[in-house]
Amino acid sequence: MTLPKKATVFIVDDDELIRDSLEFLAKSVGLAVKTFSSAQAFLDSELPNTPCCLVSDIRMPGLSGLDLQDELVKRGITIPVIFITGHGTVPISVRAMKAGAVNFLQKPFEDQDLLDSIHHSIEQDRLSKIEQHKIKDIERRIKSLSLREHEILIFVAAGQLNKQIAFELGMSENTVKTHRFRIMRKMEVKTLADLVRATEKANEKT
Amino acid sequence: MMDQNLKKLAVKALSGLENKYVIHYIDSYTKQDLLLKVAHLPKDSAIFFISLFRDVSGQSFVPRDVMAEVSQKANSPVFSMVDTYLGYGTVGGALLSASYQGKKYAEMVVKILAGESLANLQYTDKGNQLMFDWQQLKRCSIDESRLPIGSIVRYRKLSTWEEHQWKIVGVSIIIVMQALAMIGLLIQHKRRRRAEEEAQKLRDERAHISRVLAMGEIAASLAHEINQPLSAIRSYAQAAQRFLKNDPAEASKALSGIITGNRRAEEVIKRIRMSLKKEPFKQTRIQLKGLVEEVIELATSKAQEQNISLKSELILDFPATFGDRIQLQQVLFNLILNAIEAITDKNNTHAEVVVLALQENTQFITLSIRDTGMGIDEQKANSLFDAFYTTKAEGLGIGLSISRSIIEDHSGRLWATNNDDIGSTFSFTIPICEDDKK
């Protein structure tokens, strides 16, 4: 379960010069860059499974940077957002940060500030993507269990002994043991602790 | 000649009064003698005029007219018997009224005809009435209060007030109302003038505020427009620095971006210049004195607010100059306002701004604005005329920059020097009108 290393920076700005200069800046530190001239164009694009972050202007014709941020939250897309603006005001920056923006930079800014923000965002996104990947994996394994196995998993995760489970479900202790062995194999875990942790992770998500 | 029957009656009526009064019967005179006689009667005399149809010379008269003449000449009051004499010079008295008697008798006749017994009708009223002539009373100084009760006073001459009471009241009312109307109008006029002055002041303030706001707005948008390419240039430059080590091709592209950004910033500045010169350049002949006076008038209130004396020392016979009147006024106004603002020491009683003119050669006239302000920091003197350079807290730093570009458009020069004693002087040259060159 390895993720592609190449991280992508998405840049949304209506000013071509700014867009182009930011692209150069990001490329100069080895990042992949995709630029968009409007918020809508970005929303219409396909997002990769690789770690990424969004650098967006606030004041733009059509959807503003803040509108874009709202729309992403609404669609359940979790991508770190960095805002850059020529005339930021305190209320706007507060609103942006409350909605989960990573940073809010005033033009002209120190390139290192932006690059640090980008790196930080990408790392954050990478971790969150790994986490998501793990959860999806566990969910896939849980789905591969039979109905009976799933039933027994719930008892096992709740800390019940084989004897108790056998009594509860009206089956022999040996049958429970056989099911448990199969569950461990299907869930790709070696110890009971790993099994409990995996089921908890899956539960957290739902 | 007096009616002898009447005389007999009179003598009879007066008998018994001889020991109280001296009675003369004047009946054997000519009219001339009579008039002479009555004019010189002794003191406290009274004339009782009975009648005179004919005098001793045999001349006939209408008695009433004779009485009028007698009354005119007499030094004493004239009394008489019948009411028809009233108004012809008699003072009056218990007068016999023929019309009153006639009316009474007629009433009796009507009663008799109605069948009333004659015995019941006792006629006692002699028909005499106490009647007096107001004018004769006045002439003989007889006080009205001394007249018997029930007296009728005729021919009363009304005083102007009594006669024209309503006219006088009417005219007075009109005069008073006109006066009030005039006072009202004067007050209204004064109020209106004050209101107009206040409105003008408000307009001036509003114009100033809107100008400042507009400038602020423009400045904010300019700041953004210049900020964009500046920001881009910085990013390109930093990217280029990194690429230089291992990717010269990319570095070169980033450098091209810097040039693009630079060009855009230049364009913004060019646009500012263009917009500042939106007004078409209208060159006319200008009499400097009038132009300076107009600007001084505009700036005077500003100077007064700060207790600064603002004056011009211009001599009359300068040749006419040539240029855009409004733009030149703008420059002068701006320099005067700067001069006023440069004087920060408000308590200085010698605080003044003086506008001077000097003709140095046949080409130009130099106009100078001298202040007693804080002077110019020598080290910053070069930046003074740069756009967006300002020493004022709320200044935009474009006044002097615009002023200089206007003067340069007029092929003139704008410069600043510190005075020997205190403050600084800003001067600019204006070309002399071709026709007026001497």
Given B260, B276, B292, which residue is the final one in a domain?
Answer: B276
A25, A31, A55, A114, best to mutate vs chain B, most B CBs in 10 Å:
A25
| Residue-wise pLDDT tens digits, B180-222 | 999 999 999 999 999 888 877 766 665 555 555 556 666 667 7
Q: How confident is the model at residue A36 (pLDDT cuts 50, 70, 90)?
A: very high
| Residue-wise pLDDT tens digits, A105-159 | 888 788 899 999 999 999 999 998 888 888 888 888 888 888 888 889 888 888 8
User: From the CA of A18, how many Å to the nearest CA of chain B?
Assistant: 5
| pLDDT score at B375 | 82
User: From the CA of A29, how many Å to the nearest CA of chain B?
Assistant: 8
Residue B422's CB is within 10 A of a number of other CB atoms, namely: 17
- SS3 at position B131: strand
Q: Examine the domain organization and report whether B269 and B289 are in the same domain.
A: no
Alpha helices in A75-110 (DSSP H): 90-98
User: Does residue A63 register a pLDDT over 70?
Assistant: yes
| pLDDT score at B208 | 58
Out of 3.40.50.1000, 1.10.10.10, 3.90.1150.10, 3.90.1310.10, the CATH code matching A145-205 is 1.10.10.10
Mean pLDDT of chain A: 87
Given B225, B260, B276, which residue is the final one in a domain?
Answer: B276
Instruction: Report d(CA B3, CA A165) in Å as an integer.
Output: 177
Instruction: Report d(CA B85, CA B133) in Å as an integer.
Output: 10
- The residue of chain A with its CA nearest to that of B262 is A17
CB contact under 8 A, B257 and A17: yes
Given B106, B125, B158, which residue is the final one in a domain?
Answer: B158
| pLDDT score at B322 | 84
Peptide bond into A91 cis (omega under 30): no
CATH of domain A8-134: 3.40.50.2300
CB contact under 8 A, B227 and A111: no
CB contact under 8 A, B227 and A108: yes
For B277-343, what is the HEC assignment?
CCCCCCCEEECHHHHHHHHHHHHHHHHHHCCCEEEEECCCCCCCEEECHHHHHHHHHHHHHHHHHHC
User: From the CA of B371, how many Å to the nearest CA of chain A?
Assistant: 40
Q: Examine the domain organization and report whether B231 and B294 are in the same domain.
A: no
Q: Examine the domain organization and report whether B424 and B300 are in the same domain.
A: yes
Instruction: Report d(CA B322, CA B436) in Å as an integer.
Output: 10
Q: Examine the domain organization and report whether B432 and B289 are in the same domain.
A: yes
The verdict on A21 touching B (C-beta cutoff 8 Å) is yes
Mean pLDDT of chain B: 81
User: Does residue B308 register a pLDDT over 60?
Assistant: yes
User: Does residue B277 register a pLDDT over 60?
Assistant: no
| Residue-wise pLDDT tens digits, A75-98 | 988 899 999 987 667 778 888 888
Q: Tell me what the mean pLDDT of segment A6-18 comes to.
A: 92
Of residues B313 and A122, the one with the higher pLDDT is: A122
Q: Examine the domain organization and report whether B150 and B209 are in the same domain.
A: no
Complex prediction ipTM: 0.73
Range of the domain at B410: 284-436
Of residues B121 and B428, the one with the higher pLDDT is: B428
Number of domains in chain B: 3
Enumerate the residues of chain B whose CB falls inside 8 A of the CB of residue A107.
227-228, 230-231
Q: Examine the domain organization and report whether B298 and B358 are in the same domain.
A: yes
Q: Examine the domain organization and report whether B139 and B18 are in the same domain.
A: yes
The B-side interface with A (CB below 8 A) comprises: 220, 224, 227-236, 238-243, 250, 253-254, 257, 260-261, 264
A13, A17, A29, A114, best to mutate vs chain B, most B CBs in 10 Å:
A17
| pLDDT score at B346 | 61
Q: Read off the DSSP letter of residue B422.
A: S
| pLDDT score at A3 | 45
Q: What is the dihedral of CA B46, B47, B50, B53, to 10 degrees?
A: 180
User: Does residue B282 register a pLDDT over 80?
Assistant: no
Enumerate the residues of chain A whose CB falls inside 8 A of the CB of residue B250.
24, 27-28
CATH code at B303?
A: 3.30.565.10
Enumerate the residues of chain B whose CB falls inside 8 A of the CB of residue A86.
224, 227-228, 231
Burial profile B39-77: b = 16 or more Cβ within 10 angstroms, e = fewer: eeeeeeeebbbbbbeebeeeeebebbebbbbbbeebebb
User: Does residue B379 register a pLDDT over 80?
Assistant: no
Q: Examine the domain organization and report whether B82 and B184 are in the same domain.
A: no
Q: Examine the domain organization and report whether B311 and B396 are in the same domain.
A: yes
Domain ranges of chain A: 8-134, 145-205
